[in-house]
Amino acid sequence: MQCNETQVTKYGVRVFQLRLKSAEGGDINGQYYLGSCYQHGIGTTRNEEKAFYWYLKSAEGGNIIGQCNLGWCYQYGIGTTKDEEKAFQWYLKSSEGGNTSGQCNLGWCYKYGIGTTKDEEKAFQWYLKSAERGNIYGQYNLGHCYQHGIGATKDEEKAFQWYLKSAEGGNNSAQNNLGYFYGNGIGTTKDEEKAFQWYLKSAEGENITGQYNLGNCYKHGIGTTKDDEKVFQWYLKSAKGGNVMGQNSLGYCYRNGIGTTKNEYKAFQWYLKSAEGGNIYGQYNLGHCYQHGIGATKDVKKAFQWYLKSAEGGNVAGQNKLGYFYGNGIGTTKDKRKEFQWFLKSAEGGDINGQYNIGRCYQHGIGITKDEEKAFQWYLKSAKGGNVTGQNTLGYYYRNGIGTTKDEGKAFQWYLKSAEGGDIIGQYNLGRCHQHGIGTSKDEEKAIQLYLKSAEGGSIEGQYILEHCYHYEIGTM
């Protein structure tokens, strides 16, 4: 039988009255419970100052839960002035008395140097005490220590075991982490179905990161069937809860009409939230919106500023874009040296477009001394990473022996990769290889087919040579 609202209210008032009587009679447990009533507004008006007063009474009387809650009040300035040293001292008392929440909080203080000197080994030891006595937050933090080697030797299997204990106890953050461990085979055998199930538990427990990851599962079919509507719904929950990755992904859904009606204005708004929250991918996408006028008025200066934030935060795509803006004076003053520097950051970070562009800088001496060997090396990295323009350029370098030994066979192979990837210049150059037998057997029919692809894709070179071939009946007989 369910209680109606009036019954619940009457019950709360009765609880409050009983606790008030107990507290005023000097019972330290009653004092703690009365503080809780005032803190959460149970049977009375919420009053943080009175909550602090009764937690203090309880703590001074030796109640270890009251001591822990008093530490919390001092740590966050609830009903009193914030004082991290006092917070630490009360957590210490609570911990020494055996309170597992106090032990977990004390570990947190040692980990981050809150009210005391930072000491990761002591943090680990207090988390361990808390975890071994069944505290799910202590178990989660202990898993985190083992995962990252904080105060102890890194051990992913132990991390997995402690996250599992915490997750089974209902900690939705641990459930999310367990999903990640199963999804990537960390500390356990990879199992995408179990990853999905733990993300689902975390998401249903209102964990915003779990909701975002569950959206990813539905998007990519990880441990479940792909479902665009569910993708959208879970990203939406995550985004509304404040997860900046979820906000960025929700923007992507609105921009591309995934699981919802396409709406560029809403896409822009969610990218904005993500960007303002510090997400480097949201910042990049917001820059893209301003650059091209997607869901907002085109503004290249704002585009530059958001690309800059993204780049400074470490986004390699943002760094590459910033190099392009500096190189062309878009939204900022043209600066070839800065163009080179940002392309270099992007390239060193592994971005294949940045690698291609830094190769171009070395090839043409943009912001740096011309160096064909370095240009070749960066084009090679870009090409191996899958950049079709880099593959075409690498073919050119091998064919002409620029920055490397001349090798027509390798030239052909790289032109082939570029052409198969859809690059119209690569298709044109592969056609020339087939027409003239460069690195392969001469085959004019294949040459014509490739020239046709190149021309249909918009290549002027392809269109010109195709006309030439048709005129002289090359490969058309």
Question: What is the DSSP secondary structure assignment for residue 477, as one 8-state letter?
Answer: -
Quote the pLDDT of residue 8. Answer: 38
Tokens coding 184: 């990537």
Quote the pLDDT of residue 466. Answer: 87
Average pLDDT for the chain: 95
| Cα 444–chain centre separation | 50
For helices 352-364 and 372-385, give the axis angle rounded to 10 degrees: 160
What are the extents of the domains in the chain? 1-97
Q: 330 pLDDT exceeds 70? A: yes
- Tens of pLDDT along 279-288? 999 999 999 9
CB 39 within 8 A of CB 70: no
Quote the pLDDT of residue 150. Answer: 98
Mean per-residue pLDDT, 322-351: 98
How far is it, in rounded angstroms, from Cα 118 to Cα 357?
44
Quote the pLDDT of residue 10. Answer: 60
How far is it, in rounded angstroms, from Cα 266 to Cα 324?
27
pTM of this structure: 0.92
From residue 252, give the alpha-carbon distance in Å to each of 180, 207, 270. 22, 21, 9
How far is it, in rounded angstroms, from Cα 244 to Cα 251?
11
Mean per-residue pLDDT, 235-254: 98
Quote the pLDDT of residue 102. Answer: 98
Tokens coding 452: 């046709």
With a CB cutoff of 8 Å and minimum separation 6, the contacts of 397 are 372, 375, 376, 379, 403, 404
Tokens coding 130: 């808390």
Of 197, 202, 300, nearest to 243 by C-alpha is: 202
Quote the pLDDT of residue 468. Answer: 86
Higher-scoring residue by pLDDT: 2, 48: 48
Quote the pLDDT of residue 278. Answer: 98
Quote the pLDDT of residue 476. Answer: 67
Of 299, 277, 276, nearest to 289 by C-alpha is: 299
CB 168 within 8 A of CB 160: no
The amino acid sitting at 31 is Q
Quote the pLDDT of residue 7. Answer: 41
CB 322 within 8 A of CB 307: yes
- Tens of pLDDT along 30-45? 999 999 999 999 999 9
- Tens of pLDDT along 383-393? 999 999 999 99
- Tens of pLDDT along 194-215? 999 999 999 999 999 999 999 9
Quote the pLDDT of residue 341. Answer: 98
Q: 289 falls in which pLDDT band (50, 70, 90)?
A: very high
In this structure, the number of other CB atoms found within 10 A of the CB of residue 409 comes to: 10
In this structure, the number of other CB atoms found within 10 A of the CB of residue 401 comes to: 13
Q: Per DSSP, which regions of 219-306 are E strands?
A: none
How far is it, in rounded angstroms, from Cα 82 to Cα 77?
4
Hey, CA dihedral for 295, 300, 304, 307, is it positive or negative? Answer: positive
Higher-scoring residue by pLDDT: 10, 337: 337
Question: What is the DSSP secondary structure assignment for residue 337, as one 8-state letter?
Answer: H
How far is it, in rounded angstroms, from Cα 284 to Cα 313?
10
Please tell us whether the domain made up of 1-97 is placed in CATH 1.25.40.10. Answer: yes
With a CB cutoff of 8 Å and minimum separation 6, the contacts of 354 are 316, 319, 320, 323, 343, 344, 345, 346, 347
Tokens coding 469: 């071939």
CB 371 within 8 A of CB 380: no
| Cα 109–chain centre separation | 26
From residue 184, give the alpha-carbon distance in Å to each of 141, 181, 208, 223, 331. 20, 5, 20, 12, 41
Q: 440 falls in which pLDDT band (50, 70, 90)?
A: very high
- Tens of pLDDT along 84-137? 999 999 999 999 999 999 999 999 999 999 999 999 999 999 999 999 999 999
Quote the pLDDT of residue 477. Answer: 55
Quote the pLDDT of residue 387. Answer: 98
**Segments in 316-459 forming alpha helices (H):** 316-328, 336-348, 352-364, 372-385, 388-400, 408-420, 424-436, 444-456
Q: 167 pLDDT exceeds 80? A: yes
How far is it, in rounded angstroms, from Cα 46 to Cα 41?
4
Residue 91 burial (CB < 10 Å; 0-12/13-18/19+)?
buried
Hey, CA dihedral for 351, 353, 356, 359, is it positive or negative? Answer: negative
How far is it, in rounded angstroms, from Cα 2 to Cα 9?
13
How far is it, in rounded angstroms, from Cα 274 to Cα 281?
8
